[in-house]
């Protein structure tokens, strides 16, 4: 298979999510296509067998979402993600791996990935994740987030949180409240309940937090909360 293959849902409507699959294993791409093309709201517009091919396909096919394998020969998924998100900011990348989380996860999110999923993810969860990243949400389970924090702790320990505390000056009091709860791993719905506001209000605050702190996604926002001392690293 190659990126030239097109999906079976073409022409289904402008609200259909255009998706590109990048994986070096033919069977994995075939399986993902079967699952995703069966959903009426998703159109698989192409496939790629390596990172370089994925970068080219993203430019030519203009997908909404790229399902990107982390480990591929040549240009790996992390480098391909970095190039795609830099060239096409509107494209969301969901990283796929055979492991729940490893040392590649942090690098993938730093490269601009909107989410990180195991290849063992259930079909309904995969479709939900695709829909979530299109709306601007990050997709990483709380357990994976906790592991990412664990990986990041040695780096955070070397940072001087007080020296960077001035970054919080850009946030309003309410934005600081939201940021602290995001740092604790709460969802937008849980934050809305805690602060007695609507979920849309939380989303608006969080969007401004990302912009002011220069953070691309929710997971890196959690890590930034640790870096700035908003949330403390437990021993």
Q: Which part of the chain is CATH 1.10.10.10?
A: 161-227
For residue 208, pLDDT over 60 is answered with yes
Distance CA 37, CA 18 (A): 10
Residue 223: which of 191, 185, 189 has the closest Cα?
185
What confidence tier does 35 reach under pLDDT thresholds 50, 70, 90? very high
* Long-range own/partner contacts, residues 229-232 (CB < 8 A, 24 or more apart): 229/161, 229/162, 229/165, 230/168, 230/176, 230/179, 230/180, 230/183, 231/180, 231/183, 231/184
pLDDT score for 81: 92
pLDDT score for 11: 39
CA atoms within 13 A on the CB side of 77: 27
User: Which pTM value belongs to this model?
Assistant: 0.69
Average confidence (pLDDT) over 81-106: 80
Instruction: Encode pLDDT of 160-169 as tens digits.
Output: 555 566 788 8
Distance CA 137, CA 217 (A): 8
Distance CA 146, CA 198 (A): 26
Handedness of CA 108, 131, 143, 207 (dihedral sign): positive
Q: Which part of the chain is CATH 3.40.50.2300?
A: 17-140
The CATH class for the domain spanning 161-227 reads mainly alpha
What confidence tier does 63 reach under pLDDT thresholds 50, 70, 90? very high
Average confidence (pLDDT) over 56-61: 96
For residue 151, pLDDT over 90 is answered with no
The CATH class for the domain spanning 17-140 reads alpha beta
What confidence tier does 48 reach under pLDDT thresholds 50, 70, 90? very high
In the chain, which ranges are E strands? 17-22, 42-48, 65-69, 92-97, 115-118
At residue 48, φ and ψ (nearest 5 deg) are -145, 140
What confidence tier does 4 reach under pLDDT thresholds 50, 70, 90? very low
For residue 88, pLDDT over 80 is answered with yes
């Amino acid at each position: 298979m190659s990126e030239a293959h097109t999906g079976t849902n073409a022409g289904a409507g402008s609200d259909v999510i255009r998706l590109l699959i990048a994986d070096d294993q033919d069977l994995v791409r075939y399986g993902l296509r079967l699952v995703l093309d069966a959903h009426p709201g998703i159109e698989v517009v192409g496939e790629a067998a390596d990172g370089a091919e994925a970068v080219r396909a993203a430019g030519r096919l203009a997908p909404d979402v790229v399902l990107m394998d982390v480990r591929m020969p040549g240009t790996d998924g992390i480098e391909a993600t970095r190039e795609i998100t830099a060239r096409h900011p509107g494209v969301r990348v969901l990283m796929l791996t055979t492991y729940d989380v490893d040392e590649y996860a942090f690098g993938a999110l730093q490269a601009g990935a909107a989410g990180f999923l195991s290849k063992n993810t259930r079909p309904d969860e995969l479709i939900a994740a695709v829909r979530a990243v299109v709306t601007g949400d990050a997709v990483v389970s709380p357990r994976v987030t906790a592991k990412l924090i664990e990986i990041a702790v040695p780096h955070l320990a070397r940072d001087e949180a007080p020296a960077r505390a001035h970054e919080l000056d850009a946030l309003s009091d309410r934005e600081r409240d939201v940021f602290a709860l995001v740092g604790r791993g709460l969802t937008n719905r849980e934050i809305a309940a805690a602060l007695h506001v609507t979920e849309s209000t939380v989303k608006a605050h969080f969007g401004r937090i990302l912009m002011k702190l220069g953070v691309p996604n929710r997971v890196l926002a959690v890590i930034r909360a640790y870096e700035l001392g908003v949330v403390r690293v437990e021993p």
